[in-house]
Structure 1
Amino acid sequence: MTTSTPDESSANPPLVDLQSLVVSVRRRRRLWYSMASLGLLAGAGMAVLLPPSPTAVTTVLVAHAEDQPNDTGTLIRTDVQLLQTTQIADKALQALKSRQKPEDFMQDYRGTGLTNNLLQITVTGDTDAQAVARAKALAEAFVTDHVRRMRDTAQAEAQALLDQRDRMRDELAQVNQQIGNRSADGDPKASASLESLFARRAELNSRIADFDERAADARTGTPQVVAGTQIVDDPRALRHSLPKAAATDAAIGFVLGLFLGLALAAVGTVVADRPVLRRDIAAGLGASVIAELPRRKGRPWQRRRTRLTRERLTVTLTRAARGSAEPVSLLELGCPRAAAVIALDLARAMAAEGPVTVVDALPRPQLTGRRQKPGDPTVVGAERAATVSPQDRLIGVGSVAPGTAWTDLQYLGTRTVLVVRAGHGSAAWLHTVARQLADQRIAVIGVVLIDPDPRDRTDGTLWDGLHTALRGRSERPARQPGGGASHAVQAVGEGQRRAERQPVWAARGPENDQEAR
C-alpha cells in the first residue's frame, strides 16, 4: 500500500501569488469603488462647471495641382500644418480687425484632414457669433493663401519653361546663321557639316514647340485649382448638449477612477504583504485554522448561519479548554471585539462546570466595565489577574498586536487560541507572533479566522503538525478486543502529551532547541 503526501512548496515561490493578489484586491473593493465613484462625480462636475467654449466649424475643399489617386494624405497634412502658421492667422485677424496676437489666436483653432481634399476647421470664441466670424475669416484667409501659392507656383513653372524656350530660340538663330554662311561659301566638302546643322535645327524646333505646349499646360492648370479650392460648408456654431457631455465625461471619469483604484489596490497589496488566504495565515502562524467567523452579523438571512457558526466554535473551544488542566487564553490580532465576544461565550459555556473568571488584558478593554447580565462570568482587568481565586477557571483575553508585552502573555494562559482578522497583519508580523509565543512556551491550539474571504477555497490545515490542531487531541485510542490499548497507541498518546507540554514552532532556532532540551 502506498500513501500520498501533499506536494511540498516550491523552493523558489513565485514573486507574486496571483490568487492572493486577486483576493486582496477584491477585499479592497471599497477603495476602488470610492475611486470609481469619485471619478464619475468629477467627470460630471467638470462637464457642468467647465463647459466647452462656443465652437464653430467649417469645411474647405482644397484642390492640388499634384493630386494623385494613390496619395496617402501627405498634401492635406501639409495644408493642416500651413493653417497653423502666423501668416494665415495674421490675415484672418486683419479681416476681423482684431488686435489679438497671431500666436494667441493659433491656440483657438485647429485643422483636421477629413480626406485627401477636405479640410475641416474648428474655431472657438467667446460667443457663437464670434466663433462663426472667426471660422469664416480663417477659411477665407486659407483659401486666398492657397490660391496665391498655386498661382505663384504655376507662374514660376510657366516662366521657367518660357525661359528655356527662349534659350532654345537663341540657339536656333545661331544654327540658322551657320547654315546660311555654309550655303553661301559653296564648298562641296561642307555638305556633311550642313546635314548635321539641319538635324540640329529640326531638334531645336521640336523642343521649342514642346516648351510652348508645357508652358500653356501650366497656365491652364491654375484656373482649375483656383476654381476647385472653395468653402463647401459654411461656418456654423456647434450645439452643446449638457446631459450628453455630462454622461460622456462621467463615464470617462468612472473608467479612469476604477483603473486607478484597482492599480492602487494591487500595488498596496503587493507592498503591504498581508496574507488573506487560509493557507497563508496558517503557514505564517504555524497553526491550523479551526473556525471562521464573519466580521459583522451580515444581512438578516445570514444572521442565523453566523449564530450557528459561533455556537459550534464555542462548543469546540469548550472541549479544548475542558480537556486541559492549564489555563486557556484568546489572543487577538486586528479584532479585539470579536475576541472578547468569543471569550465571553466560552466563559458562559464553562460556567456550568464551575466558577470562571475572564481576564481582560486588551489594550482597550472590551469586557471590563460593561453591564453584567445574569449568568455572565466574572470579568477583571489585567491588574487584578493575580487576585483570581485558584479554584476559578481562568480565561485570558489579550492581544498580539505590535507593542505587545510578550512576557505577560504566559500569565493569561499557557495554551492559546489566536483570533486573527484576515488581511490585517503582515506576513512578517505573523512569523513574529508565532516565534514569540514559542519562546514564551505558549502552545497554539488553533486559529479562529475573522472576516475570511467567502471565495477562499484554500486549506487552512497544517498537515505536517498534528499536535498543533484540535483534531490531534480529539482522536481516541482504539480498544483491543481484551479491553486494553495497544502499545503503539499508548506511545502515540504519550507523544501527544509530550507535544502538549512543549511549544511547537517549525522555525525555532538552534538556541531555543538547545534550551528546550
Structure 2
Amino acid sequence: MTTNTSGQPSTAAPLVDLQGLVVAVRRRRRLWSALALLGLLVGAAAAALMPAAPTAETKVLVAHQADQPNDPGTLIKTDVAVLETTRIAGLALKSLGSSEDPALFLKDYQGVGLTNNVLQITVTGTTREQALARAKALANAFVADHVSQLRAEANAQADALLGEGNRLRTELAQVNTEIGKEPAQGSDPSAAATLESLFARRAALTSQIDDYTQRAQDARVGTPQLVVGTQVVDGPQAVVKSLPKVAATDAGIGLALGLVLGLAISAVGTVVADRPVLRRDIAANLGASVIAELRQVPRRSTGLRWRRRTRTARERLTVTLARTVRGSAEPVSLLELGCARSAAVIALDLGRTLAADGPLVIVDGLPGRWFDNRRQKPGDPVVVGSERVTTGVPQERRLGVGSVAPGTAWTDLQHLGTRTVLLVRAGHGSAAWLHTVARQLADLRIPVLGVVVIDADPRDRTDGTLWDGLQTALRGRVERPAQQNGTAQPRTERPSWVVRVPDSDREAR
C-alpha cells in the first residue's frame, strides 16, 4: 500500500533555516575562532606598539545665572558646546603662543559635564608638559570667556533697565510740568479730577523709576558672585594609564570585533553556499534516507586520538552495510562525496567482514590512491582498479568504491555496482549538486539503498528518514534481471518506487 502525496499541499519553507544556519556556523568555528584570536592579538599589539598620547585633565566650577536645582543638565551641555569652539581654542593657543590651527586643536581635547556645575577638560599632547600646559590654557580661556559673558550680560541688562528708567523720568518731568500748569483746586470739579489723575500718574512713575533703578543695581551687584563662582577647582594633572589595563581593554575590544566579524562571515557564507549539514536536509535533497552516520576518519587513526566511540560506530556501520550487501541480489557500491579517506577505510572494514563469506574483490574507483598506503593484513580482500572490472572473474563478488564529486564519469558507476550506498560529508556538497547526484543515479537506474553521513554534527537531532516512499526511499526502478555476484540468477524481488527528484531546496523541504 502506498500513499500518494502529490496532491497534498506542501508547507511553505522558511526563507532561512535557523537551525541549519546555527549548525553550519558552529561547524565553521575554526574561522570565527581564528578571527577572534586575530582581533585579540591585534588589539594587544596595538596597545603595546601604539601607546596612547600623554593626557592631562582639569576641572572647572561653572556658575550660571539661571541655576536651578531641577536643571536636567542643559546649562552644562551648553558650556561643553562653547568649550569645543574655535573661539576658545584660539584663545588658548594665543595664550600659549602657538600658531596651530584652532580647528585642528579641537581634535586634541574634549569636555565632559560631570555635574550641573562641574566641567572636566581632557587634553592630549605630544609630551606630558605640553598636555599640562594646554589643559591650563584651555581652563583659563574658558573661565575668562565665561566671566566676560556674565559681565556683558549684566551690563547689558543694567543699561536696559537704566534706559527704561530715564525714559520714565522724562515722562515724569512732563507730568510735573502739567501739574504746575493746572490752577489751584476750586469749584470746577473737572479740573479737580484732572489734577488728581496727574498726581496718581506721578506716583506710579516714581515707583517704576525706583524699581528699575533697584533692578539695575541688583544686576550689577550679582555679577561679582557669579564671577567668583566660576573658577578652576582642580588644576591640570597628568593622566597615568596602566599599560596592562590598556592592553587588556584593547585586546577585549579586538576579540569582540573579530568574533562578530567571523560570525557574520560564517553566516553569510553559509546562506550563500547553501550546503546542507542536517540529516533532514541531506535526505531531502538526495531523496534517500539516512541509515547511519560516522565521524570523520582522521589521518592517523591509531593512538589516543582514535576514540572508542568512533571505533564502535565504525563497527556498527560495518555490520549494517554488511547486512545490506548480503541481502542485495546485485553488486553494491559505495559512492563518496567529500570523504574519500573515510570511504576507503569503510570499504576495507566492510571487505574484511564480507571476506569471511567467500572471495571478495574491492574495485577502486576513487580519485587518488587511497588504498596504496594501507597495511596489508591476512584475510584482507584484493583491491583492483576499475579498469579491470570487465576482465575480472565473474564468479567473484565485488564491492565497488567510487566518487560522485564534480567531474565524475557517471557512466562508469554502473561497473562499480548496480546498487549503491552514498557516503556524504555534511556541509561539503551544495543542495544543487546533491540534486544533480540524485538525478544522475536515477537516470542510470542505480537505486540508493541509503545515505551514510560523515562528520555529522553531534547535536543534530533531525529525522533523516523519508516517510513518503519505500523504507529506505530507493531511487530508480529495478527492471533488470537480478544478478548475484555477477551471475544471472532469477530472483523474485519487490521493485522499488521511483522517487521524484525535487527541483529546488524549498521543494525538497
Fold similarity call, TM over 0.5: yes
Q: 2:241 corresponds to which residue?
A: 240
Which whole-Å CA distance do the structure 2 matches of 1:147 and 1:45 have between them? 46
Deviations 1:7-58 (A, max 9, x none): x895212222222222222222112211221121122112112211100000
The 5-angstrom pairing of residues 403-414 of structure 1 reads 403-414=407-418
Instruction: For structure 2, list consecutive stretches of 5 or more residues without a partner in the other structure.
Output: 475-489, 504-509
Which whole-Å CA distance do the structure 2 matches of 1:217 and 1:34 have between them? 70
Relative to structure 1, the CA distance from residue 508 to residue 171 in structure 2 (aligned partners, 3 Å threshold; closer, same or farther) is closer
1:498 and 2:494 aligned: yes
Q: 2:421 corresponds to which residue?
A: 417
Shift of 1:164: 0.7
Partners of 2:297 and 2:342 within 8 A in 1: no
Which whole-Å CA distance do the structure 2 matches of 1:9 and 1:251 have between them? 51
Which whole-Å CA distance do the structure 2 matches of 1:356 and 1:103 have between them? 86
Structure 2 letter corresponding to 1:100: E
Shift of 1:218: 0.4
Shift of 1:161: 0.5
Partners of 1:358 and 1:394 within 8 A in 2: yes
Q: 1:55 corresponds to which residue?
A: 55
Structure 2 letter corresponding to 1:328: V
1:507 and 2:501 aligned: yes
The 5-angstrom pairing of residues 338-353 of structure 1 reads 338-353=342-357
Which whole-Å CA distance do the structure 2 matches of 1:141 and 1:469 have between them? 85
Which whole-Å CA distance do the structure 2 matches of 1:446 and 1:175 have between them? 116
Q: 2:141 corresponds to which residue?
A: 141
Q: 1:402 corresponds to which residue?
A: 406
Q: 2:389 corresponds to which residue?
A: 385
Q: 2:200 corresponds to which residue?
A: 199
Q: 2:64 corresponds to which residue?
A: 64
Partners of 1:434 and 1:505 within 8 A in 2: no
Structure 1 letter corresponding to 2:54: P
Partners of 2:278 and 2:426 within 8 A in 1: yes
Q: 2:30 corresponds to which residue?
A: 30
Deviations 1:414-450 (A, max 9, x none): 0111011111112222222112111101011111111
Which whole-Å CA distance do the structure 2 matches of 1:371 and 1:383 have between them? 23
Q: Which moved more, 1:258-267 or 1:99-108?
A: 258-267
Deviations 1:50-99 (A, max 9, x none): 21110000000000111122222121111111111222111111111112
Percentage identity across aligned positions? 67
Instruction: For structure 1, list consecutive stretches of 5 or more residues without a partner in the other structure.
Output: 471-493, 510-517
Partners of 1:357 and 1:388 within 8 A in 2: no
Structure 1 letter corresponding to 2:198: L
Shift of 1:240: 1.1
- Give the match's secondary structure for 1:342: helix
Shift of 1:324: 2.8
Q: 2:178 corresponds to which residue?
A: 178
- Give the match's secondary structure for 1:190: helix
The 5-angstrom pairing of residues 141-290 of structure 1 reads 141-183=141-183, 188=188, 189-290=190-291
Number of aligned residue pairs: 479
Partners of 1:422 and 1:451 within 8 A in 2: yes
Structure 1 letter corresponding to 2:499: W
Deviations 1:186-242 (A, max 9, x none): 794522221111111111100000011100110011001100000011110000100
Shift of 1:323: 2.9
Structure 1 letter corresponding to 2:315: E
Q: 2:437 corresponds to which residue?
A: 433
Which whole-Å CA distance do the structure 1 matches of 2:208 and 2:288 have between them? 103
Structure 2 letter corresponding to 1:400: V
Partners of 2:60 and 2:118 within 8 A in 1: yes
Deviations 1:259-305 (A, max 9, x none): 22222222222222222222221222122222221104589386222
- Give the match's secondary structure for 2:335: strand
Partners of 1:357 and 1:394 within 8 A in 2: yes
Q: Which moved more, 1:218-227 or 1:399-408?
A: 399-408
Partners of 1:398 and 1:409 within 8 A in 2: yes
Q: 1:483 corresponds to which residue?
A: none
Q: 1:512 corresponds to which residue?
A: none
Relative to structure 1, the CA distance from residue 495 to residue 63 in structure 2 (aligned partners, 3 Å threshold; closer, same or farther) is farther
1:457 and 2:458 aligned: no
Q: 1:307 corresponds to which residue?
A: 311
- Give the match's secondary structure for 1:398: strand
